């Protein structure tokens, strides 16, 4: 399998980069066109980026030499995304990364970056799960419902009953919710 993060294609374990039946072969021709052998059609770099987001495994080979050029094509996709203003790699980070080429730490950097990105994705998933649990059917959902009721009342010109009591109750609920968010963040 070709790892979108590394673009490597070696080894035989799942996720190690071995080319298997589920890996789409993309041929890159001298005219820079990309040919998807699975769909028997020419595709764009945007389509390859979409395949990465869909976690589809692919290997890009030079049509003439057969060399694996997946890494350089993935790098080209990143460069095009960055050029479109979808900046994810700050200049300082890029400078530091370039500075590591040829240094003693260079062999360790790829694995460190892959492990860091995997940890980031795990944390993102855990946070998303925690937040979805906090908002579904819980106090946040009730608060949103009451806010919508107040908005509708304001839009129609009707005043909520006992406004100060409602505000005090909402402040209390907000304090409770803040405590729950703080607890989740621990």
Q: What is the pLDDT of residues 82-131, one digit of tens each?
A: 999 878 899 999 999 999 999 998 999 999 999 998 998 888 888 777 77
State the pLDDT at residue 181: 83
Q: What pLDDT was estimated at residue 1?
A: 39
- pTM for the predicted model, two decimal places: 0.58
Distances (CA, A) of 171 to 130, 176, 183: 23, 9, 18
179 vs 96, more confident: 96
Q: What is the per-residue pLDDT for 33?
A: 95
Q: Identify the weakest region by mean pLDDT among 9-18, 29-38, 48-57, 150-159.
A: 9-18
| CB contact at 8 A, 22 and 33 | no
- Residue 158's pLDDT is what? 55
List alpha helices for the chain, DSSP H.
45-53, 70-83, 91-100, 109-135, 139-156, 163-185
Q: Which residues contact 48 (CB under 8 A, 6 or more apart)?
A: 26, 34, 58, 60, 73, 77
Separation CA 42–CA 31 (nearest Å): 12
Confidence of residue 34 (pLDDT cuts 50, 70, 90): very high
The residue ranking higher by pLDDT, 26 or 124, is: 26
Dihedral of CA atoms 72, 9, 91, 34 in degrees, nearest 10, equals 30
- For residue 20, name the pLDDT band (cuts at 50, 70, 90): low
User: What's the confidence (pLDDT) of residue 134?
Assistant: 61
Note the pLDDT of residue 52: 95
Q: What is the pLDDT of residue 108?
A: 92
**pLDDT tens for each residue of 35-81:** 999 999 999 999 999 999 999 999 999 999 999 999 999 999 999 99
CA separation for the pair 35, 87 (Å, rounded):
28
């Amino acid at each position: 399998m070709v790892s979108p993060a590394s673009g490597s294609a070696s080894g035989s374990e799942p996720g190690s980069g071995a080319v298997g039946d589920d890996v789409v072969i993309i041929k890159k021709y001298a005219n820079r066109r990309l040919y998807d052998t699975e769909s028997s059609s020419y595709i764009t770099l945007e389509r390859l980026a979409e395949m990465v987001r869909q976690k589809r495994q692919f290997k890009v080979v030079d049509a003439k030499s057969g060399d694996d050029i997946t890494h350089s094509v993935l790098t080209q996709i990143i460069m095009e995304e960055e050029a479109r203003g979808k900046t994810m790699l700050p200049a300082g980070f890029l400078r530091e990364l370039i500075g590591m080429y040829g240094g003693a730490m260079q062999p360790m950097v790829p694995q460190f970056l892959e492990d860091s990105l995997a940890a980031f994705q795990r944390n993102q998933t855990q946070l998303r799960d925690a937040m979805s649990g906090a908002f579904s059917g819980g106090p946040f959902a009730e608060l949103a419902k009451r806010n919508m009721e107040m908005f509708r009342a304001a839009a129609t010109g009707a005043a909520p009953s006992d406004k100060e009591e409602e505000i005090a109750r909402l402040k209390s609920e907000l304090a409770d919710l803040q405590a729950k968010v703080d607890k989740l963040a621990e």
